[in-house]
């Protein structure tokens, strides 16, 4: 028998908030400062997802992808993003209502992001106040998703097992993370990557709009117990 879901762990970018424009602006400004080519915002949907350092690696010309150059670009990106991270970023329609519904039903909520921890906590606090029980971004020495470490930390801190947890995200990174952790998953098609990537990663619980997430959790709790 599978335990009922009691903990929902959300990805941040592309799941709770649409942040691609601010991420693109901060990165493009850093590239401009280095005299390097910039990219259209749409290209950033596939540059993001594995942390901001990986983002900086992906946008650099291949011949410049040394650790030193990636670190330099990442430092410049971080300074820019500090100033612009709220310029265009907004929660997706229906997310706040979804979170209210889940909390009313006694489901605890957390955030696990590959974005640096300071930015993750700041953005969640700005848009959602104290809605989430725990917010964890990329921390020094802790591997990023799809490694299960961050989810295991959240589950331990809040006192839940993998059987009681569902991971909710918009990319294959989140679905693979759920598989690596032994949790169930829900894929969000409104995010950065789309339904095809989620299904190709093995996701079978697809949410077309945020309200679908509550309905999927209800179904899982009724049919799998």
Active site residues: 11
- Residue 29 corresponds to which tokens in the numbers above? 């400004």
What's 4's DSSP letter?
P
Which H helix or E strand runs over 90?
Answer: strand 90-91
Neighbour count for residue 105 (Cβ, 10 Å):
13
- Residue 124 corresponds to which tokens in the numbers above? 């969640």
Residue 140 CA neighbour count, 13 Å, CB half: 1
Is 189 in contact with 208 (CB distance < 8 Å)?
A: yes
Give the Cα separation of 17 and 170 in Å (integer).
11
- Residue 120 corresponds to which tokens in the numbers above? 């993750």
Is 210 in contact with 62 (CB distance < 8 Å)?
A: no
| DSSP states along 101-161 | HHHHTT-EEEEEEEEEHHHHHHHHHHHHTT--SEEEEE-TTSPPTTSTHHHHHHHHHHT--
Is 44 in contact with 24 (CB distance < 8 Å)?
A: yes
């Amino acid at each position: 028998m599978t335990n009922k879901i009691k903990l929902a762990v959300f990805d941040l970018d592309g799941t709770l908030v649409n942040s691609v424009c601010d991420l693109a602006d901060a990165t493009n400004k850093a590239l401009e400062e280095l005299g390097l080519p910039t990219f259209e915002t749409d290209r950033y949907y596939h540059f993001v997802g594995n942390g901001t350092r990986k983002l900086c690696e992906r946008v650099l010309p291949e011949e410049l992808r040394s650790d030193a150059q990636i670190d330099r670009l990442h430092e410049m990106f971080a300074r820019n993003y500090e100033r612009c991270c709220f310029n265009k970023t907004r929660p997706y329609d229906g997310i706040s209502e979804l979170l209210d519904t889940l909390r009313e039903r006694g489901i605890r909520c957390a955030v696990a992001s590959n974005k640096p921890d300071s930015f993750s906590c700041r953005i969640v606090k700005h848009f959602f106040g104290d809605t989430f029980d725990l917010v964890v971004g990329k921390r020094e020495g802790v591997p990023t998703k799809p490694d299960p470490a961050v989810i295991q930390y959240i589950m331990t801190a809040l006192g839940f097992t993998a059987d009681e947890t569902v991971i909710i995200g918009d990319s294959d990174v989140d679905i693979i993370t759920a598989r690596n952790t032994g949790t169930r998953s829900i894929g969000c098609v409104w995010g950065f990557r789309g339904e095809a990537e989620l299904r190709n990663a093995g996701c079978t619980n697809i949410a077309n709009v945020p309200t679908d997430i509550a309905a999927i959790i209800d179904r899982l709790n009724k049919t799998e117990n």
